[in-house]
């Protein structure tokens, strides 16, 4: 679809992709400095990953005043709207032409004089052999009701903080918990690792990965491959909880921007990407440090350099 063929064409000074903390912060800074802008978000709600945070947020200033991430996102939205930010929900961008600073949804074309990409990140989904057959016994999102784990033999896949946190939480209700990690390189805080190691209900198996899933109507076992010896062993399992970290939502920009090996957008200290007029911040950029305060800071800082660029 070219610009001329499109149904709707929308032009603004600063086009913002993503309605999480970083995008909202950028929109606020634009509104505050009188810059024409438009923020586009595919979900019905603004807030991005804040929607997934179940409780108060202790590592963000004032975060503990909100009962949950969703509450915080409502407050951010209300504030942004009261400042006159232009926000548009339920618009999914499906194509990007960064040479022309243009984003396309299925029925409109958005063009900015500058673009701020704050499309964030999402859970990395597992992919096991014959996964589709057993999909009801495999979970990976943050909110999973405990009844899926009660009295069950639980396999947790992953080697980071969230896998170890999940093991501690599920051990309280499960029959057994086994953490499987494909290498021996665990990226876990010492305090959490010590708690897991001290818990007799949790077993940790390094250098193993799931080769295949077994069962009739429901999951009954996993075949584990030992990555050192290549040996395969079977282990009883009723349910798998995959905590494999996050991937950046950067697919739209493959072949258009310089990305890191992990798919994060490379930026400099002025939040500039490898393309003139295209800026990025929050969880989609590298070096990745996925924190609300960082995402907010990036959004705000970007506007300073976008203004310089627009001059």
Ligand X SMILES: Cc1cc2nc3c(=O)[nH]c(=O)nc-3n(C[C@H](O)[C@H](O)[C@H](O)COP(=O)(O)OP(=O)(O)OC[C@H]3O[C@@H](n4cnc5c(N)ncnc54)[C@H](O)[C@@H]3O)c2cc1C
Cβ 72 vs Cβ 50: under 8 Å: yes
CB of 77 or CB of 219, closer to ligand X: 77
Closest separation in Å from C-beta 101 to ligand X: 16
CA–CA separation, 162 and 123 (whole Å): 11
Q: Which of 282, 286, 300, 303 binds ligand X (CB under 6 A)?
A: 282
Cβ 299 vs Cβ 25: under 8 Å: yes
Residue 295 sits in the site that holds ligand X (CB under 6 A) = yes
Q: Which of 70, 88, 291, 307 binds ligand X (CB under 6 A)?
A: 291
CA–CA separation, 46 and 29 (whole Å): 17
CB of 94 or CB of 172, closer to ligand X: 94
Contact residues for 195 (Cβ-Cβ < 8 A; gap 6+): 164, 168
186-225: contacts with ligand X (CB under 6 A):
none
Q: Which of 101, 138, 292, 301 binds ligand X (CB under 6 A)?
A: 292
Q: Helices marked H in the chain — which ranges?
A: 21-32, 69-82, 161-171, 190-197, 292-310
Binding mask 91-110 for ligand X (x = CB under 6 A): -xx-----------------
CA–CA separation, 151 and 282 (whole Å): 39
Contact residues for 298 (Cβ-Cβ < 8 A; gap 6+): 22, 25, 118, 271, 280, 281, 282, 285
For residue 294, count CB atoms less than 10 angstroms from its CB and return exposed for 0-12, middle for 13-18, buried for 19 or more: middle
CB of 153 or CB of 283, closer to ligand X: 283
48-77: contacts with ligand X (CB under 6 A):
48-50, 52-53, 57, 59-60
CB of 126 or CB of 215, closer to ligand X: 126
SS3 category, 197? helix
Closest separation in Å from C-beta 5 to ligand X: 21
Binding mask 140-179 for ligand X (x = CB under 6 A): --x-------------------------------------
DSSP state of 160: B
Q: Which stretch binds ligand X (CB under 6 A): 26-34, 82-90, 166-174, 288-296?
A: 288-296
Q: Which stretch binds ligand X (CB under 6 A): 107-115, 116-124, 199-207, 225-233?
A: 116-124
CA–CA separation, 258 and 104 (whole Å): 21
1-40: contacts with ligand X (CB under 6 A):
18-23, 40
Closest separation in Å from C-beta 166 to ligand X: 11
Residue 237 sits in the site that holds ligand X (CB under 6 A) = no
DSSP state of 100: G
CA–CA separation, 265 and 275 (whole Å): 11
CA–CA separation, 45 and 74 (whole Å): 9
Closest separation in Å from C-beta 21 to ligand X: 4
Cα Dmax for the chain: 66
Contact residues for 311 (Cβ-Cβ < 8 A; gap 6+): none
Q: Which of 12, 176, 178, 249 binds ligand X (CB under 6 A)?
A: 249
Q: Which stretch binds ligand X (CB under 6 A): 112-120, 147-155, 202-210, 269-277?
A: 112-120
Interacting residues with ligand X (CB under 6 A) = 18-23, 40-43, 48-50, 52-53, 57, 59-60, 92-93, 118-121, 142, 249, 282-283, 290-293, 295
């Amino acid at each position: 679809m070219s610009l001329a063929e499109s149904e709707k064409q929308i032009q603004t000074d600063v086009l913002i992709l993503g309605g999480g903390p970083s995008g909202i912060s950028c929109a606020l800074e634009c509104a505050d400095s009188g810059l024409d802008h438009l923020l586009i978000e595919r979900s019905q709600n603004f807030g991005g990953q804040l929607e997934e945070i179940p409780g108060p947020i202790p590592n963000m200033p004032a975060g503990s005043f909100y009962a949950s991430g969703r509450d915080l996102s409502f407050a951010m939205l209300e504030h942004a709207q009261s400042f006159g930010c232009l926000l548009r929900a339920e618009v999914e961008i499906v194509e990007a032409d960064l040479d022309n600073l243009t984003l396309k949804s299925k029925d409109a074309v958005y063009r900015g004089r500058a673009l701020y990409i704050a499309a964030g990140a999402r859970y990395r989904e597992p992919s096991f052999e014959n996964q589709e057959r057993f999909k009801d016994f495999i979970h990976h999102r943050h909110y999973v009701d405990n009844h899926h784990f009660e009295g069950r033999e639980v396999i947790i896949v992953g080697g980071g903080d969230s896998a170890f946190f999940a093991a501690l939480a599920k051990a309280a209700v499960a029959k057994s918990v086994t953490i499987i990690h494909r290498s021996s390189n665990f990226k876990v805080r010492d305090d959490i690792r010590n708690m897991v190691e001290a818990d007799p209900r949790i077993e940790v198996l390094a250098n193993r990965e799931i080769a295949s899933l077994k069962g009739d109507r429901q999951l009954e076992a996993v075949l584990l491959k030992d990555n050192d010896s290549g040996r395969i062993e079977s282990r009883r399992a009723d349910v798998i909880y995959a905590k494999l970290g996050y991937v950046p939502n950067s697919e739209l920009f493959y072949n258009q921007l310089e990305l890191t090996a992990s798919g994060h957008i490379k930026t400099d200290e002025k939040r500039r990407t490898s393309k003139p007029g295209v800026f990025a911040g929050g969880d989609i950029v590298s070096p990745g440090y996925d924190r609300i305060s960082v995402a907010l800071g990036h959004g705000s800082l970007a506007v300073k350099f976008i203004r310089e660029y627009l001059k």
